[in-house]
Structures are given as structure tokens and as C-alpha cells.
Amino acid sequence: MPTFAAIDIGSNSCRLKIARVQAHQLKTLAEDREVTRLGGSVFDTGLISPEAMAATLRALKRFQRAVQARGVDRIRVVATAAMRDARNASVFQAWIKAETGWNMEIISGLEEGRLIHLGVTGAEPGTGGRVLLLDLGGGSCEITLSEHKHIRETVSLPLGAVRLTEQFLAEDPPPPDGLARMRRLIARELRRAHRRIQPGLAPLVIATSGTAAALSAACALGAKNGKPGARKAAKITAKSASAGDRAEDRAAILAGMVPARAVRKLAARLAKMPLPEREAVPGIGPRRAEIIVAGAQVYAEILEAFALRGFRYSPLGLRDGILAQMLAEQDARAKAHREFEHERWESVLATARRYGVDPRHAEPVRTHVVQLFRELKPVHQLGPEYENWLAAAAVLSETGKFINHQGHHRHTQYIVSSSEIYGYTQLQRTLVSAIARYLGKSRPQPGDRALRNIPAEEHKNVHRAVVLLRLAVALNQDRASDVLRVGTRIYPKRVYLELRAGRTGAELELWSLRKEAAYFREVLGRELFVTLA
């Protein structure tokens, strides 16, 4: 059974999770975490400091030893807000590549939210209905509304605990003017989020990551009477509350929920404490105490702005989503595979509609390119992943007309590579955009902008994929006619395409396909013959 590893390089900490596939499910083998504060200098100067780079690299090398000891078959390394914002991110990417051999992938805030959703809803109980997910990291905060395990809406806000601490709370204890300015920023960002997300009476709110864990632990320890060290936490969460409120909050906490009222009171108390007192609060700890004031304020404001009664903490998160996606991509029999493919394809269709393309008009091209991919495998020798990329390129190939009909293939390449298409990495979107780019008169050439960010070893595959998509487009020249049927025959030196004409004939398609014969021979090394059956 394969073993996967996921590494999340966050703005506050780096996390590792290793899991093995057993019976089409993931079984956790090892986890590790280290606070590196990668975003500390980024949110102040725009650059990752050498010290933060070195600390992160030390953590990654330790992770690498764990990965090697477990015999991991596949690893995915992703970075989030700090790397998105850092002007020297590419330098650090190159350093990590040189020291570990790993390709660090910088994901967008929306992709981060999607992966968190995938990780939480895939394993957390009770997420089959309407759920609001909150993930507050060091650099950003992702809020996702889910229904029946499908994303309805997601937003990424610049409200990370490290980011806000660096911007507003550099002094200790936090200055009143800094707290006031921070609250105004939080309120403004949440108003923007509220225009897109209307959770209504979401019966379940799940919060993930370190700040949620600290708040949950502090409230839980405060609610357990008689436990050593609990008295101070109890005072923090219960002071000024009525006896009825305290009893209700305590019952909710003991049931695994963190009430909004308890979060609000805890946030207000923490804001008045110097660092040594915050460190002494049970459940928070020394490292989290440095940024807990900002994190607690964000949670308090979110719960109030969305009229939420509280949240339930989940230890699942981004790394679990990464592992779930790796399982879905590799194991076609896993339940996650069907869900992932459905979600990914729905995102392709949504992108097409956003740019004025009716997916029904593109469906014949998609059908033909998938057929050609499957029947001509001995000729093109592309990996199985290209089937999906070709199908996506077929549906998105005319999105460039949204900008201008003239030269729309160039515009298509820009739109696809720049769009947020769930389930596709930046490299995968770039590959899809390059395949869709060359459907006019031009052909892929070394140094082309469309190929610039694609590894050199993939250029040959892009050429082959372009040939297949051009054939599929040629098969659908006359949209007024019914869809043509095509058969294939493969010989050592030639390939035959046999067309079965529709009601209005196939002369235009026959002519278009024969025009592609020279390019087919150039790329795939065989003669192409097109006949009418």
C-alpha cells in the first residue's frame, strides 16, 4: 500500500502528516509540528527574514528524516499566506529545492480553503449537512460554507494571528489604540465576507488550527472544576456572566462546543494581560501566547458578525486535505476519488460559464478528445492524468472570447492559467492553459510564454496533447450538424480516422482533419489518413 506525506508550511508553523493507504482509506502513521514564524517579518517588511528561512529549513530537514524513515512514496509540500505575500518567495523556494529536493507549491487562499474543507468534511463526523468552517492561521483566515460536503462559498481574509500581531500589537501588553485599529480592520474584512457568505442558522460551526485549539483548551480547562490550574481559566471565561449563562456555557464546553460568549470574554481578558500572564493561562502555552490576543479577537468578531452560538474545534486541517486529495488522485476505488473528480469537474464547468461559454456547446469536443486519448494511447503515450487535462482544455478553449474574439487563444491561455479552478494546482492549470492555447495557426515553440512555467520534460507531452485537441476541434467544425462518430485504426506507421457522416455530411470536418496530418506526423511520427465510412 502506498504511503503519502503532506507538509503545510504556514505563516506561524510547519506541520507534517504521514499516512498509509489501507482498504482505500488513510491511516495516520506520524505527525510533527514546529513553530517557525515564517510570516513574522513578511507582514512587517514584505520579505522572509534569513532567520525565519533557516528555522523553517531546519524543521523541513527533520521532516525529511521522518519521511525517509517511513518509506514515503509521494510527498506534497504546500505553503500559504506568508509565501503568497513575500517578495523573496522564489528565493526560498529555490533554497528548499536545493536542500531537500522538494518542490514547494504556493497555493492561493481559496485553494487553501478548499483543501481544509476536503480534509475536515472527509473525516469529521456530522459534516453531511450545512456547516461553516473557520480556519485562522498565521497569515490568513479562511471561511467556508459547506452543504452536503460541497463548498457553497469560500473566502480568504488577511486576518491571520501573526499578521495582525505584527501590524497592530507589537507592544506588550497590547496598546488600546492598536487594539482599536485592529478591530476596525477585522470588522471591515468581515463585512466583505458577509456579502458572500450567509450561513444563516448553520447547525454546526467547526474551527481548525492552533488558535481554535488554544481557545477550546482554555475554555475546557476553565469549565472543569477542581482540576489543577483550572481556577484562573474559569475566572477568565466566567467573570461577569450570570449564573444561568455560566451554567449554559459550562454545559456547552463539556459537550465539546466553545460558546461565543466564552470566546468574547476570554478575548477581552487576554487583551488586558501582559505576555507572562497569558503564558500562564492553561491551554494556551508560551508560543501561542505571543499571538493569542489577535487570534482570539478575530474569533470573537467572527462569531458575533455571523450571529454564531459558538464553534467545535477539529484537529483536522490543511494537511489532511492534501492527503485526501493524494488518495483521491491515485486510488480510483476510494470514495474520495469520486467526490474529488466531481468537485473538480464542477469547477471547470463553473469557470467556463463565468466567461460566457456554454459547456453544452463544448461537450462534443470534450467527448471526442477523450475518445481519441483512450483509443490512441499506443501512439501518444501520455500519462493518464492528461485525459482530465485535455477534457478541461476542451471545455475552456473558448473562454478567451470573453475578452476579444480576435486572438482569443492567447486570451484563453491567460484566463485559464490565472483562474481559481478547484482541484488543479498552479502547474496543472498552466498545462491546461498551454494545451488550449495552440488551437489556431500557431504551434508550441521553445521560449513561448505559455510554456515558460512548465518543466522542460513536459513540453513534449504538451505538444502531443495539443495534437489530440486540435483533432477533436476539427471533428466539430459544423455545429449545426449532428455530432460525428469517429473510429480509429492504428498501424505501425499510420493511423486511420474513419468518419461516419451526420445528416449534413462531413466535408468541412474531413478537410479540417486532413489539414492536421502534417502536424500529426511531425509530433507523433505516424501518417494520418482520414476517410469517410
Q: CA geometry: angle at 288 spanning 216 and 234, to 5°? A: 40
Identify the residue with better confidence: 336 or 116: 116
What is the pLDDT at residue 459?
94
* Average pLDDT value over all residues in the chain: 90
Grid coordinates representing 335 are 470514495
What confidence score (pLDDT) does residue 245 get?
A: 60
Res 118 pLDDT > 50? yes
**Of 454, 323, 304, 477, whose CA–CA distance to 389 is shortest?**
454
pLDDT (mean) for 276-290: 91
Alpha-helical regions (H) of 224-283: 230-238, 243-254, 260-271, 275-280
Question: From residue 335, how far is each of 329, 345, 421, 483 by CA, in Å?
Answer: 11, 16, 21, 34
Task: In whole angstroms, give the CA distance from residue 190 to residue 305.
Answer: 7
Q: How confident is the model at residue 227 (pLDDT cuts 50, 70, 90)?
A: very low
* Residue 19, pLDDT above cutoff 50: yes
How many other CB atoms sit within 10 Å of the CB of residue 170?
11
Q: Would you say the C-alpha torsion 439, 443, 449, 455 has a positive or negative sign?
A: positive
Residue tagged 514584505 (cell numbers): 46
Would you state the pLDDT for residue 300? 96
Instruction: Name the DSSP class of 458.
Output: G
pLDDT at 474 over 90: yes
Band the pLDDT of 225: cuts 50, 70, 90.
very low
Give me the domains of the chain, ranges plus CATH numbers.
3-107 (3.30.420.40), 125-315 (3.30.420.150), 332-477 (1.10.3210.10)
Per-residue pLDDT, averaged over 71-80, amounts to 96
β-bridge partners, 207: 134, 313
Residue entry with cell 445528416: 503
Identify the three-state secondary structure at position 40. helix
pLDDT one-digit tens code per residue, 286-306: 889 999 999 999 999 999 999
Q: All 3 cell numbers of residue 321?
A: 486535505
Backbone angles phi and psi of 207, in degrees to 5? -115, 145
Q: Cα(509)–Cα(512) distance, rounded to whole angstroms? A: 5
pLDDT of residue 198: 82
Helical H segments across 475-516, by residue range:
507-515
In this prediction, residue 246 carries a pLDDT of 61
| Residue 232 reports pLDDT greater than 70 | no
Pairing relationship of beta strands 104-106 and 74-79 according to DSSP bridges: parallel
End-to-end CA distance of the chain: 47
Residue 486: closest CA among 460, 461, 468, 463: 468
356, exposed or middle or buried, with CB in 10 Å at 0-12, 13-18, 19+? Answer: exposed
User: Is pLDDT at 177 greater than 50 in this prediction?
Assistant: yes
Band of residue 329 on the pLDDT scale cut at 50, 70, 90: confident
What confidence score (pLDDT) does residue 64 get?
97
pLDDT at 481: 59
Q: Is the dihedral of CA 197, 200, 206, 207 positive or negative?
A: positive
Look-up: residue for cell 473525516?
123
Give pLDDT tens digits for 54-65: 999 999 999 999
Kindly give, in sequence order, each residue whose CB lies less than 8 Å from that of residue 354, ignoring residues fewer than 6 positions away. none
Residue 222 pLDDT > 90, yes or no?
no
Output the nine-digit C-alpha cell for 72: 514515503
> Is there a contact between 423 and 325 (Cβ–Cβ < 8 Å)?
yes
Element (H, E) at 490: strand 485-490
C-alpha grid cell, residue 331: 486510488
Is residue 479's pLDDT more than 70? no
- Asked whether 212 and 311 are in contact (CB, 8 A), the reply is yes
- The torsion angles phi and psi of 191, rounded to 5 degrees, stand at -65, -40
**pLDDT, position 368:** 96
pLDDT of residue 149: 87
Count CA within 13 A, CB hemisphere, residue 344. Answer: 19
Query: Mean pLDDT, to the nearest integer, of 48-56?
Result: 95
pLDDT tier, 482 (very low <50, low <70, confident <90, very high otherwise): low
Cis peptide before 173 (omega within 30 of 0): yes
Give the residue among 309, 278, 251 at the shortest CA–CA distance from 165: 278
**What is the reported pTM?**
0.83
Between strands 485-490 and 527-532, the pairing is unpaired
The pLDDT assigned to 115 comes to 93
Quickly tell me which residue has 485504426 as its cell: 489
* pLDDT tens sequence across 364-407: 999 999 999 999 999 999 999 999 999 999 999 999 999 999 88
Give Cα 279 to chain centroid, integer Å: 33
pLDDT at res. 34 = 94
Is the model more confident about 437 or about 248? 437
pLDDT value of residue 332: 74
The answer on pLDDT for 226 being more than 80 is no
